[in-house]
Amino acid sequence: MIFVTVGSQGPFDRLIHAVDEWTALRGRSDVFAQIGKAKYIPKHIRFTEFVDPVEFKHLVESAQLILAHAGIGSIISALESARPIVVMPRRAHFREQRNDHQVATARHFEARRQIIVAYEEQSLAEKIDYALTLRNTERIKMEASPQLVVTIRSFLNRNFGPHKFQP
Amino acid sequence: MGTPIEVSGMSVRKRPKRAPDLMNELGKTDRPKRALAVASGGGHWMQLMCLVPVLDGYDVVFVTVADSYRRVVPENRFYVVRDANRWNKFLLVALAAKIAWIICKERPDLVISTGAAPGYFAVLFGHLLGARTIWVDSLANIERLSLSGRLAGKCTDLWLTQWPHLARTEGPQYAGAVL
């Protein structure tokens, strides 16, 4: 199964349209997409508007490949489950996002060889075909680093005292 | 955001006055401090979830943008707001009003957020009502802080970026990340 997600910040029709075309071209019937409140209704893939975090994790784990916008949530979810992921960044000039921060996110993880990036829809098909030849990737874990925990804890202790919780 | 003053070993901060905690006055018990944890959807929410264990012992109230996230924190009080951004001023005002209402109702001691717009309004109104505030800017902002992150700096006691190259002497500071 290939799981496609546009994340929670609104539709991303450019991605869904390109994936829909790729699916038709390859004749696949196992593509499932979370498309948000989209204007473009895909013809060749099954889809839903939104999935909650529990379903989302389940879908990622059951997928062979993830296709997504370059949102941190989508990327980290794929990497936490050690799934290969192809992302296409949302662009400000298409009004898909307020700014081009997704391009920076994509470049960052691409430089570490953790994700595959299609910077525009024309290159998506080729990137998906390549990603399908990949095995599962290195697994990462998202958690607050010790330094972050210590910084927040000492801030809290400074302001509220060592906290004694009485149920 | 005054500097701590040392009074016989106790750190006291200048902050707006608030109603005295009656139970404390009577010396009976400490009520758990209340933390309002605020995040938009997707990555913002995931990063907030990484910080929640640090709030062990606090009465944590969540504010986010999708009702389905309730499943993740079934034991906690939970508010849903409609997310907004600077493209829609009307929704932005509605969001600000709802956040203000939640802050007035919950009177949190602490507001913590990983962004974006709902988090900014929460640290703003929280700060105005005397809460301590923490902003952990999203990992997604690699090249510069988001608009909400930059605005939040003015009303945040602990203002953090998760990228060392974005840290500045005047803030935000870098102190690790959720990755």
Report CB contact under 8 Å: B54, A152.
yes
Distances in Å between the alpha carbon of B103 and those of B28, B56, B98, B127, B128? 26, 21, 9, 10, 10
Residues 71-90 of B with CB under 8 A from A: 71-72, 83, 85-87
CA distance B169 to chain A (A): 16
Report CB contact under 8 Å: A155, B177.
no
Query: Is residue A166's pLDDT more than 50?
Result: no
Q: Residues B170-179: what's their mean pLDDT? A: 95
C-alpha A27/C-alpha B4 separation (Å) is 66
Query: Is residue A40's pLDDT more than 90?
Result: yes
ipTM of this predicted structure: 0.89
A158 falls within a domain? no
Give pLDDT, residue A137.
Answer: 77
Residues 108-147 of A with CB under 8 A from B: 108, 140, 142-147
Report CB contact under 8 Å: B42, A8.
yes
Mention every residue, 6+ apart, whose C-beta is less than 8 A from residue A93: none
Which CATH number is A135's domain given? 3.40.50.2000
Chain B residues closer than 8 Å to A8 by CB: 40-42, 45, 65-66
Q: Is B165 left (phi over 0), alpha (psi -120 to 50) or beta?
A: alpha
Query: Is residue A162's pLDDT more than 90?
Result: no
Give pLDDT, residue B16.
Answer: 54
Q: Residues A118-140: what's their mean pLDDT? A: 92
Secondary structure E strands in chain A? 2-5, 31-34, 46-48, 65-69, 85-88, 116-117
Give pLDDT, residue A121.
Answer: 94
Query: Is residue A111's pLDDT more than 80?
Result: yes
- Domain limits for position A57: 2-139
Report CB contact under 8 Å: A102, B140.
yes
Give pLDDT, residue A165.
Answer: 44
**Four-CA torsion B149, B150, B155, B160, nearest 10 degrees:** 60
* pLDDT tens-digit map of A47-103: 999 998 889 999 999 999 999 999 999 999 999 999 999 999 999 999 998 889 999
Give pLDDT, residue A59.
Answer: 97
Mention every residue, 6+ apart, whose C-beta is less than 8 A from residue A69: A5, A6, A7, A12, A15, A87, A88, A89, A90, A96, A102
CA A20 to chain centre: 17
Give pLDDT, residue B28.
Answer: 46
Rg over alpha carbons for chain B, rounded to the nearest Å, is 16
Q: Residues B30-52: what's their mean pLDDT? A: 94
Report CB contact under 8 Å: B140, A143.
no
Give pLDDT, residue A167.
Answer: 37
Element (H, E) at A150: helix A146-160
Give chain B's length: 179
Give pLDDT, residue A53.
Answer: 86
The band of A44, judged by pLDDT with boundaries at 50, 70 and 90, is: very high
Give pLDDT, residue A5.
Answer: 97
Nearest to B32 among A72, A152, A165 (CB): A165
- Asked if B34 contacts A2 with a C-beta cutoff of 8 angstroms, the reply is no
A117 falls within a domain? yes
C-alpha A53/C-alpha B155 separation (Å) is 30
Distances in Å between the alpha carbon of A128 and those of A56, A59, A137, B106, B122? 20, 18, 15, 48, 40
A102 falls within a domain? yes
A85 falls within a domain? yes
CA distance A32 to chain B (A): 18
Report CB contact under 8 Å: B66, A50.
yes
| Smallest CA–CA distance from B43 into chain A, residue | A73
Task: Kindly state the percentage of chain A with pLDDT values over 70.
Answer: 97
The residue assigned the tokens 């960052």 is A108
A151 falls within a domain? no
Domain boundaries along the sequence of chain B: 32-174
The closest of A19, A53, A49 to A34, measured between CA atoms, is A49
* pLDDT tens-digit map of B67-87: 999 999 999 999 999 988 888
Chain A residues closer than 8 Å to B141 by CB: 101
- Could you tell me how many CB contacts below 8 A there are between chain A and chain B? 140
Report CB contact under 8 Å: B175, A148.
yes
A154 falls within a domain? no
The closest of A118, A121, A144, A140 to A131, measured between CA atoms, is A118
The band of B6, judged by pLDDT with boundaries at 50, 70 and 90, is: very low
- Asked if A31 contacts A21 with a C-beta cutoff of 8 angstroms, the reply is no
The band of B116, judged by pLDDT with boundaries at 50, 70 and 90, is: very high
Give pLDDT, residue A135.
Answer: 81
* pLDDT tens-digit map of B41-51: 999 999 999 99
Task: Kindly state the percentage of chain A with pLDDT values over 90.
Answer: 86
Number of helices (H), then strands (E), belonging to chain A: the values are 6, 6
Give pLDDT, residue B20.
Answer: 53
pTM: 0.87
Q: Residues B137-151: what's their mean pLDDT? A: 95
Domains of chain A: total: 1
Q: Does domain B32-174 have CATH number 3.40.50.2300?
A: no
Task: Kindly state the percentage of chain B with pLDDT values over 90.
Answer: 78
Computed over every residue of chain B, the mean pLDDT equals: 88
The residue assigned the tokens 């999203």 is B138
Query: Is residue B15's pLDDT more than 80?
Result: no
Interface test with B, best of A60, A72, A75 (most B CBs within 10 A): A72
Q: What does the block give as tokens for A160?
A: 């509220």
